[in-house]
Structure formats: C-alpha cells, structure tokens
C-alpha cells in the first residue's frame, strides 16, 4: 500500500467498491511498518493480531458508503489510553500498564470502525520536543535519519511522513503536534482547548493538553478532527460548543480573508530560510485574495517562561499519582513507605520528567508561589488578551511553526534552555487555548519548513479553509522523503 498516492477518500472508495479488502489494507500497513520502521522507529507497540481480527469482521459486514473512516488503519500516540493494548507514555513508570478502558477519542474512532495498528513513540509523558526522552527507543526524522522527528508526538508524525500509516493521533501541550508536523513535512492540528475530550489522555498539563490529528493533507486532517470532536461529560473541561463539518467549506475560496503576521514571529532567532518561506507563503495568500497585515503580540516573548512554570507546576501535581503503590513501576529494594515513593519514582522517571517535576514543585511552594506561578498565570492572561485584540480585526494569524528546521539527534538534548526555546512560536497558542495548524510551506537543505495558522477559539473551520486553499495553490504537500527508495 503506497500511502503517498492515497488519501482517506480514495481508500474509502476502494473499500466500498471491494476493490480492496480491509484485511489486505491492514496487512499492507503492517508490511509498510515492518519495512520502514527499522529506519524510523515510530512505533512502540503493534496491535497486529487484534487489528487483523477486526479487519476480517469488517470484511464480512462490508464498509458503509457514508462512513469514510471505516476500515482505515491508524496509529495512536502512546499517551492515549487503549483498552487491552499496552500504553506506556514512553516511560519505564508505565512499562507494563495494560488499560482496562478506552480514551473517549478511541471510543469515537472504534465506533467509526477504524483499525488501531499500534502505539507511536513519544517523549516521556509528552515532556520534550525531540522524542529523545523516550525510555524505550529513538525515533528518527522521515526526511533525514540523522535529524530528530520533533516532539513530543514525534512517532505519530514520522509514521505518517514515512508512509507507514495514513493518519495518526497525537497530543499537543506546547506545540507537540505542530512542531513534529513541521519537521516532517505533514499537516498537524492542535484543536481549540475543550474541542476534543481529554478523558483517557495521560495528563501532562491539564490546562494545556489537547489531542489532535496528523495527516498528509488538510482535508484528511479535517475528516479526522470531525471524528474525535465533541462534548464529553467525563471531561469537565470539554466544551458543548457545536461541532461544524470541518470539510464542508474546503472550497479554496478565501477572498476577503484578513490575515495577521506578528512581527515577533518573524524576528531575531528565526532562521533566514524560514523567514523567506513564510514571506513567500504570504505572497501566495495575497494572490488568493486575502489581505495580510503586520501586527504585534507584545507579550508573546514571555510565552516560554510562562509555559514552563505553568506546565511544570501542573505536571508536578498530575504525576503525584505515580507513587509505586496503585499502578506503575514499583521498586523492589524498599524498607518503608518513603522508600517506595522515592525509589519507585527515581527508577521510573527519566531526567526530563524529574527536571519538570522539580521546577513545578518549586514554583508551587509556599515561599515562591506568588513570585512564580501566580505571576505566570497573570502574564498568561496578558497573552490571551493580545490574541483577542488581534482577532477582533483579523480572521487568522500566520507565522512559522518553528524557528528552524529539524535539528540533529543528540544536538540539543543536553541543553534544556535551547530545547525549550524551540517551542517559542507554538507555546502561546496553548496558553490561550486557541486552535493551531502546521502545514508544509517549503524546504531548506532537504528538510521541510512548517507554516503555522492560528484561528480564534472554536474557529477551526477558517483555519482549515485557509490551509486547504494554500495547499491547493502549492505542491509542498506532494513531496515525499526518499529513504524508502521513492524517487
């Protein structure tokens, strides 16, 4: 199965007409993974036996013409809970965790008869921007195996970009869908906070986390978001906002759309080749009939310190549940209760997770709460107000997804500050709870460049419309990596 030449609609058509069986498609997907994942390392666990059983059942009952996702094999990030399929969050702490329930997004996908082929690699507990903090394996960029795939959803992005699967789910806390999508030359969307249920997502930072889709094109992404969106009473932060059909208005017409480009997103620190690609994208949007103006988001420069205080504080609270008693890793050589806690966590958590737990615990402590966490929460409000001011006059915000293309494996892993700054352009979107999309906008030295589109809350429709129009006017999404022998 050549996923570089298919999309969800064409696969669906083949399945409905019975020119392709679900079993054949699923087997072909596992063949893709077997051949390519030796070089890429995108998957942690495969679900082959159950996937083929489900495929055979779907072949018996047939594929409904009005269910576009029926029989489609998908990869799922390993912090999304999957019933009877080991879910580790790429941590030794959860190495043998076999969930007894499904996340809401999995219930929705299963109801649509999708096939889960396996769980994708990630940074441990989604803490990282390169997938190098995984406790189990190293994932590599689909375009250049000496480069990182980005993170924390690096496995999900690399699996799609390398043609192993047609779509995956990831999670985005500070850019963890959009940045790896940019590094791998695919489409990744972080929905509005509350659009998609977080029930069954292993929590990192509860006020920032969102599940979203990664695909090779904009329309497939919109189809995937249609499938997983909606109110969930089990998630108290889930919104009852109506979910439109994100595919319905993908007509390529964006005449009259007003787009803002923040000066802060095009300044110092953004590589010249990235700036050039974004300027070219701006020209494309103007040719399509959009108006593009320069604006300012003055408080965005504080996004990184604000994010790492808030996210680490929430992480230190969320990760208290991993205590070596109820579930997860438990140390053997213990003499008392304190030993159980200290040794289990010391052995179970990796360096980056420990770093963030310590930073968060410090920020929340009695002597520093006002100076750090409270102040960060106040500046977060200012960042939200900056976006609100721009969206009172504009439909979309445009800029680079990342200040550089993918960096080398091992290059930044021992420099936390540099690693954190890689997320400077994506973090403000999570702090403000807005939807953001990364899509391919060029290449530099053979590596993809990502463009980010940001919409107002619950206005993913406009973001998809603009992304689709840009995609139709360019050929960047048609480029494919050459590692697999493709020309």
Q: pLDDT tens for residues 302-343?
A: 999 999 999 999 999 999 999 999 888 999 989 999 999 999
| Residue 443 burial (10 A CB sphere; 0-12, 13-18, 19+) | middle
Q: State how far the Cα of 216 lies from the Cα of 478, in Å rounded to an integer.
A: 9
pLDDT number for residue 487: 36
Is the per-residue pLDDT at 421 higher than 90? no
Residue 132 pLDDT class (50, 70, 90 cuts): very high
pLDDT number for residue 432: 98
Q: How far apart are the first and last CA of the chain?
A: 16
What is the mean pLDDT of the segment spanning 174-179?
98
Q: State how far the Cα of 43 lies from the Cα of 85, in Å rounded to an integer.
A: 13
pLDDT digits (tens, 9 = 90+) for 282-299: 999 999 999 999 999 999
Place of tokens 């960029």: 141
**194 within 8 A of 232, measured Cβ to Cβ:** no
What is the mean pLDDT of the segment spanning 420-438?
94
- The phi-psi region of residue 41 (left if phi > 0; otherwise alpha if psi is between -120 and 50; otherwise beta) is left
Residue 434 tokens read as: 């807005």
pLDDT number for residue 412: 83
**467 within 8 A of 290, measured Cβ to Cβ:** no
Residue 486 pLDDT class (50, 70, 90 cuts): very low
Place of tokens 């999404």: 477
Q: State how far the Cα of 9 lies from the Cα of 13, in Å rounded to an integer.
A: 6
Give domain limits for the chain.
3-248
pLDDT number for residue 326: 84
pLDDT number for residue 483: 63
> 3-state DSSP call for residue 378?
helix
- CB atoms < 10 A from the CB of 19, how many? 9
Instruction: List, by residue number, the catalytic residues.
Output: 77, 152, 176
Q: State how far the Cα of 354 lies from the Cα of 377, in Å rounded to an integer.
A: 23
Report the CATH superfamily, name and number, of domain 3-248: Amidase signature (AS) domain (3.90.1300.10)
**71 within 8 A of 142, measured Cβ to Cβ:** no
Residue 485 pLDDT class (50, 70, 90 cuts): very low
pTM (2 decimals)? Answer: 0.96
pLDDT number for residue 417: 77
**370 within 8 A of 380, measured Cβ to Cβ:** no
DSSP string computed for 200-259:
TBPPS-TTT-EEEEEESSHHHHHHHHHHHBS--TT-TT--------TTTT-SS--TT-EE
Q: pLDDT averaged over the chain?
A: 96
DSSP string computed for 403-423:
SSSPPBTTSSTT-HHHHHHTT
pLDDT number for residue 185: 98
Q: State how far the Cα of 419 lies from the Cα of 157, in Å rounded to an integer.
A: 19
What secondary structure letter does DSSP report for 128?
-
Q: State how far the Cα of 463 lies from the Cα of 111, in Å rounded to an integer.
A: 27
């Amino acid at each position: 199965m050549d996923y570089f030449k298919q999309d969800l609609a064409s696969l669906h058509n083949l399945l409905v007409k019975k020119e392709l069986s679900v079993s054949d498609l699923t087997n072909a997907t596992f063949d893709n993974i077997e051949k390519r994942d030796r070089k890429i390392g995108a998957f942690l666990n495969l679900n082959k036996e159950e996937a083929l059983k489900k495929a055979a059942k779907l072949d018996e009952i047939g594929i409904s013409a009005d269910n576009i996702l029926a029989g489609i094999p998908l990869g799922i990030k390993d912090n999304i809970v999957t019933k009877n399929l080991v879910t580790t969050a790429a941590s030794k702490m959860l190495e043998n965790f076999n969930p007894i329930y499904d996340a809401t997004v999995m219930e929705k996908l299963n109801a649509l008869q999708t096939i889960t082929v396996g769980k994708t690699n990630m940074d441990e507990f989604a803490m990282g921007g390169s997938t190098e903090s995984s406790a189990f394996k190293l994932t590599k960029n689909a375009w250049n195996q000496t480069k990182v795939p980005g993170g924390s959803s690096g496995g999900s992005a690399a699996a799609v970009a390398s043609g192993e699967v047609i779509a995956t789910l990831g999670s985005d806390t500070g850019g963890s869908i959009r940045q790896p999508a940019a590094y791998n030359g695919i489409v990744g969307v972080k929905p509005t906070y509350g659009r998609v249920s977080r029930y069954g997502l292993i929590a990192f930072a509860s006020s920032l986390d969102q599940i979203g889709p990664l695909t090779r094109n904009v329309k497939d992404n919109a189809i995937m978001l249609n499938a997983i969106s909606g109110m969930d009473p089990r998630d108290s932060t889930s919104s009852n906002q109506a979910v439109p059909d994100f595919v319905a208005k993908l007509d390529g017409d964006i005449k009259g759309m007003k787009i803002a480009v923040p000066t802060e997103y095009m300044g110092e620190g953004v590589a010249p080749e990235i700036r050039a690609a974004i300027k070219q994208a701006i020209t494309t949007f103007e040719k399509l009939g959009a108006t593009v103006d320069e604006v300012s988001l003055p408080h965005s420069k504080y996004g990184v310190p604000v994010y790492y205080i808030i996210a680490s504080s929430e992480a230190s609270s969320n990760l208290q549940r991993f205590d070596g008693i109820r579930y997860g890793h438990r140390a053997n050589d213990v003499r008392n209760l304190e030993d159980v806690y200290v040794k289990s966590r010391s052995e179970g958590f990796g360096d980056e997770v420990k770093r963030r737990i310590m930073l968060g615990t410090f920020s929340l402590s009695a002597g520093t709460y006002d100076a750090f966490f409270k102040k960060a929460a106040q500046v977060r409000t200012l960042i939200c107000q900056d976006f609100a001011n721009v969206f009172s006059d504009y439909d979309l915000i445009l800029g680079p997804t990342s200040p550089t293309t993918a960096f080398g494996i091992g290059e930044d892993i021992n420099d936390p500050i540099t690693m954190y700054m890689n997320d400077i352009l994506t973090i403000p979107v999570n702090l403000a709870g807005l939807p953001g999309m990364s899509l391919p906008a060029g290449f530099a030295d053979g590596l993809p460049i990502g463009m980010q589109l940001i919409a107002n809350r619950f206005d993913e429709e406009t973001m998809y419309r603009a992304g689709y129009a840009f995609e139709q006017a360019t050929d960047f999404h048609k480029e494919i990596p050459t590692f697999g022998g493709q020309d």
